[in-house]
Copies of this chain bind each other. A is one copy, B any other.
Amino acid sequence: MAKRIAVFGEVMMRLQVPGYELLSQASSLNFSFSGTGVNVASALARFGHTGYLVTTLPANAVGDAAAAYLRKLGLSQEFIQRGGNYLGMYFLENGFGARPSRVTYSNRLESSFNTAPGDAYDYDAIAAQSDVVHFCGITLAMNDSVRLHMKSLAKAVKARGGTVVFDCNYRPSLWGPDGYEKAKPHYEDMLGLADIVMMNEKDAMFILGMRTDKENRLDQLRELLPVVAAQYGIQVAAGTHRSVNGDNTHSLLGFIYKKDTFTFSKKLTFSVYDRIGAGDAYTSGIVHGEISGFSPAKTVDFAAAAGMLAHTIVGDTPMSSESEILRAMTEAVGDVER
């Protein structure tokens, strides 16, 4: 049954150098609009749910372009505010083989989203229309005002019995020096409010400062995640282990921890066209599985396949339908479909 999912987050303009040139070689850019929330809500809308984006866009031509793009992605505009002057942007230069992709940010701290006033969002109205609300650690890094919006909205949804999803998504460059220390109390607040959390053992060790004697990632995960879940009252914790292989393929192992049990996906290995945003496809798969009543095994395999397919799609935002993901879970790569 279709659910109503609100996502709170910033919309970024992605300015991508076409092909494999560097920015200093190029003279044009392809652009799109995305963000963790955009990606998750759009993927869920494609699965048949209703995706509301809670954000603020500038009241100018750039904001108009973003709004049009978000409509095209299928997001409901009801909770999008217009105000302020700027949109966060980032430049993307595609890597090739031995040369990694490179992202350069514009100044996002003055964006319409990050300077939205304290009364920008009607938490209760949003909560009233939302079965699920999604937040992420990128937004949490912005400023106190944004963090207050996050926690207030999370509480409002929780108060009405809705489900709170939190993706830890720690980005060192956003928190600056001593970042883990600064971040920890805010992460603890969000973990305390969250029902479904996207995280792995590194988040536990680095953000929460937990310790383990294990050296193997999987062992660390198996030891730490149950502790975190118990401590913060988390019902579902999920995430991935990614490895970049020598032949430039990536491998993804998805996991979900629920009711004291770990379930792992098949380890998927695949060619990568556009890596950015693929983690959000995985998140959308976990959320879809949970709200659709999939078994943990189906959920984690669905999420991993959703993540894999997102690597083959142009842009940050996943574009695969539920049936395409289900097919990718079961079939070998095939010939042309006609």
**Partner-binding segment picked from A3-11, A156-164, A328-336:** A328-336
Interface of A, helix, strand, loop or mixed by DSSP: loop
> Are A65 and B173 also in contact (CB < 8 A) when A106-B86, A312-B96 are?
no
> Are A27 and B24 also in contact (CB < 8 A) when A96-B273, A173-B338 are?
no
Complex alpha-carbon distance, A95 and B331, angstroms: 15
CB-CB < 8 A to A21: which residues of B? Answer: 314
Complex alpha-carbon distance, A27 and B24, angstroms: 13
Tell which of A62, A65, A109, A312 has the most Cβ of chain B within 10 Å: A65
> Are A276 and B336 also in contact (CB < 8 A) when A104-B62, A248-B271, A271-B96 are?
yes
Complex alpha-carbon distance, A73 and B105, angstroms: 24
How many residues of chain A are within 8 Å of chain B by beta carbon? 79
A102 within 8 A of B: yes
Complex alpha-carbon distance, A292 and B51, angstroms: 32
CB distance from A291 to the nearest CB of B (A): 22
The A269-323 residues at the B interface (CB cut-off 8 A) are: 270-273, 275-276, 308-309, 311-315, 319-320
The A6-36 residues at the B interface (CB cut-off 8 A) are: 15, 18-32
Given contacts A62-B104, A97-B273, A107-B107, 15 further A-B contacts (CB under 8 A): A19-B314, A22-B313, A26-B31, A28-B31, A29-B29, A29-B31, A61-B93, A61-B104, A68-B72, A68-B74, A71-B74, A98-B311, A98-B312, A171-B338, A248-B271
- Could you jot down 11 A-B contacts, CB within 8 Å? A22-B61, A22-B319, A23-B62, A24-B319, A60-B104, A61-B91, A68-B72, A89-B89, A96-B273, A99-B324, A102-B338
